[in-house]
Structure 1
Amino acid sequence: MRIKLLTFLVCMLCAAAAFAQSHSNEIGIQTDNDSYLLQGSDRYYTDGIFFYFRHALKVKSGDSTKLANKVLGFELGQKIYNPQSGSVLVDGADQPSLVDRPFAGYLYVGSTLNLLYKNESNLKLSAQIGIVGPGAKGMQIQDFVHDNFGFYHPSGWEYQIHNEAQLNLAAEYNKLLARNSWIDVSLASYVDLGNGFTGAGVGPLARLGSFNQLFNSVTTQSTAIKNQSVAPLHAHEIFFYYKPLFNYVAYDATIQGGLFDKHTSTNSLEITQDKEPFIFSQQFGLAFTTNRFVFDIAAIFHTKDDKEMVQSHQWGSVTGLYRFK
């Protein structure tokens, strides 16, 4: 996993350009893994991979008094979850009692519409369709990575969450609260609704460094822009940020299983658990842009999201985007 991260960073950084210019399209990848924090862990939310394409839409003249930017996005993603270890094998036999968070995979395709206003608020709407369970291919991907990169062989996926088709909707709202030349604070919030994930979260977001307005920034995934009607604060962004969130979880299919699955089969090996209704998360990150490239590197720390989990969890996240006309 460390080789994967270093290769990704070197390839993206070597291609960085040096002058500022707006671009209306961007394509990129995000990779999440708990091993990026160099703690030797392999548990809970253990791996994620996401592919993005975003296209800035033209802001119509009738909207231009309020809207500064409008971005349409498409994405493909997969998340993989383990218990406290990717193997529950002890002395040659599986130990189901070690499954303190279910084995689960989530695979989806989605679309987003990001409306960004001149008053530095934004509303981002998203929809995802996908699957949770064996159809998400979490076991196959984890087996391939572990078997081909010198890690232990995972064991216990026969206990994973059952298949269920997913429809998940979300809305994200951000609003600038205060700013001076080198620091600002915003409100960050979201609402999820679906048979996979339902809940909400709210908290502050603090940025320190050289950042742009929220309608053209890494912070709001709006670095693609069609017509630059307002001059950016900086030619390039480079800033640290801190984002603590208070989260309420009403339903999580990767913990509780499919919402419409009866979970009554006598032949089932599926192990589900009880979700924690309240979670506190913290994200520490560094974001920066060049003429063509956008980077966001972060560490995320979560309290337990499952009542049976033996400890909290954390992971690293690296996003790289290439911008073009």
Structure 2
Amino acid sequence: MRRTALLLFALLAAATAHAGEDTTCVTGHTKLPPTVNFRVDNDLFGGQDQGYSNGVQLTLVSPNLVDYTDDPCLPRLARWINRHVSALTPEGFEQQNMVVSFAQGIFTPTDYSRHDLIEDDRPYAGALLASLGYNARNGDELRTTQLQFGIVGPSAYGKQVQNEIHKLLGDETFQGWDNQLHDEPVLRLVHERMRRYSAGDEENGPWGWDAITHYGGSVGNLATYANAGAEWRFGRHLPDDFGSTPLRPAGENTAPTRKVRGPNQFGAHLFLTVDARWVLYDITLDGNTFRDSHRVDKRALVADAGYGLAFMYGRWKFALARYHRTREFEGQKQTPVFGSFTISRSL
């Protein structure tokens, strides 16, 4: 898994360097640069230390592409991979790009002090994931597809990472990691469709608002669900993309855009988001797929509501968000609350 992740990042790092030197990476008359995003989620931002306890993700976004198999903005290795997953790569769109990400998620019960199995609380689980994403845009409509794969269990190093973070912060470490889920390779396919409704372009002034609706779902032994929701944004120099919510598959600078911010342009906006899911399977709640393990009685309907701020200056973007989630399983003592911080830079 670690070798695979290194391979994926080498792939996009090469693409980034190649795009920076190659003047053919142009869509229309606008050269759109590659982007790097780094995101941290933590429930301490929500005043808790339970449930979805911590997450970290590094994402590399290609420039806009003519296609996924022959475009010189991608290195040969990326083009070779895309030829072998051609069913995931859309064709016939105005704009498209490729996204590679590497992430870790950590899930824990409420009581950190207990060594025994806490049967009425969620399992301990760590997840280490890599993904390939493909975005395709026509006007104000976007379709995005992600192939996500990795491992859940001790090999995801959830225990080690959480312990080191808690020691660094001077907090107590969780004592029940011996009860975590077993190692299991995981795979899922995520697909969403989005539509952006804008109040007008910047010819009417720098201030504006937009709304982005989405629907889609996920299939796999990591998670299987159907979902739908929306995001609303208001502010100055709104980005021409498909949302500032970092939890969305095409959020936070990862979707193709039709314009580039000026080198000294400042923008800022508020965003509100909602998402509802009908969950058929979630390995972090239902337990291992092929082995007996700890599990809880999952709730089928789960919803998120979030709000945040985003600031943009030149090539940089910063976003802060806070999320409130409905209870995910029967007997859950508190509704989950967690925060997210994202820093992005166009290269």
TM range (shorter): 0.7 to 0.9
Count of aligned positions: 282
| Alpha-carbon displacement from aligned partner over 1:223-246 (angstroms, at most 9, x marks no partner) | 4798x7668899554211111111
Counterpart position of 1:141:
161
- Alignment-derived partner of residue 184 in structure 2: 164
- Give the SS at the match of 1:182: strand
Structure 1 residue matching 2:95: 3-state secondary structure? strand
Is residue 98 of structure 2 the alignment partner of residue 54 of structure 1? Answer: no
Say whether the 8 Å CA contact 2:102–2:130 is kept in structure 1. yes
Q: TM-score, normalised by structure 1?
A: 0.79
Residue of 288, 295, 298 corresponding to 1:272: 295
CA distance change for structure 1 residues 163 and 178 in 2, over 3 Å: closer, same or farther? Answer: same
The one of 89, 94, 100 equivalent to 1:74 is 100
Query: Residue in 1 aligned with 2:194?
Result: 174
Larger proportion of helix = 2
What is the Cα-based RMSD across aligned positions, in Å? Answer: 2.6
Distance change in 2, residues 1:144/1:229 (3 Å):
closer
TM-superposed deviation, 1:202: 0.7
8 A contact 2:244–2:271 mirrored in 1:
no
Partner of 2:239 in structure 1? 212
Measured at CA, do residues 218 and 279 of structure 1 come closer, stay the same or move farther in structure 2, by a change above 3 Å? closer
For 1:188, the equivalent position in structure 2 comes to 214
> Is residue 96 of structure 2 the alignment partner of residue 96 of structure 1?
no
Amino acid across the alignment from 2:213 = L
1:10-68 deviation line (CA, Å, top 9, x unaligned) = xxxxxxxxxxx96421113100001123x2x21100100101111123337xxxxx744
Which of structures 1 and 2 has the larger relative contact order (alpha carbons within 8 angstroms, sep 6+)?
A: 1
Aligned counterpart for 1:125 among listed residues 126, 145, 154: 145
CA distance in 1, matches of 2:62, 2:163: 35
Task: Give the direction of change, closer, same or farther, for the CA distance of 1:319–1:232 in structure 2 (3 Å limit).
Answer: closer
Q: Equivalents in 2 of 1:152, 1:321: separation in Å?
A: 32
Instruction: Determine which of 310, 320, 330 is the counterpart of 1:287.
Output: 310
- How many angstroms apart in 2 are the aligned matches of 1:306 and 1:143? 26
Q: 1:319 to 1:68 in 2, by over 3 A?
A: farther
d(CA) in 1 for partners of 2:137 and 2:308? 22
Question: How big is each residue's C-alpha offset from its partner over 1:293-318, in whole Å with a ceiling of 9 and x where there is no partner?
Answer: 12221101100112231121010001
5+ unaligned residues in a row in structure 1: which ranges?
Answer: 1-20, 61-65, 264-269
Identify which of 21, 25, 42 aligns with 2:34. Answer: 25
Are the structure 2 counterparts of residues 283 and 57 from structure 1 closer, same or farther at C-alpha, using a change threshold of 3 Å?
same
Question: What do residues 104-154 of structure 1 show as CA deviations (whole Å, max 9, x unaligned)?
Answer: 111111111111221x11111101110111111111111111223311121
TM-score (norm 2): 0.74
Q: Distance in 2 between matches of 1:321 and 1:111?
A: 19
Do the aligned partners of residues 99 and 133 (structure 1) sit closer, same or farther apart at CA in structure 2, a change above 3 Å counting? farther
Q: Which residue of 1 aligns with 2:175?
A: 155
**Local SS of the residue matching 1:167:** strand
- What 5-or-longer segments of structure 2 have no aligned partner? 1-29, 68-91, 201-206
Aligned to 1:298: 321
Counterpart check, 1:244 vs 2:274: yes
Distance 1:221 1:162, change over 3 A: same
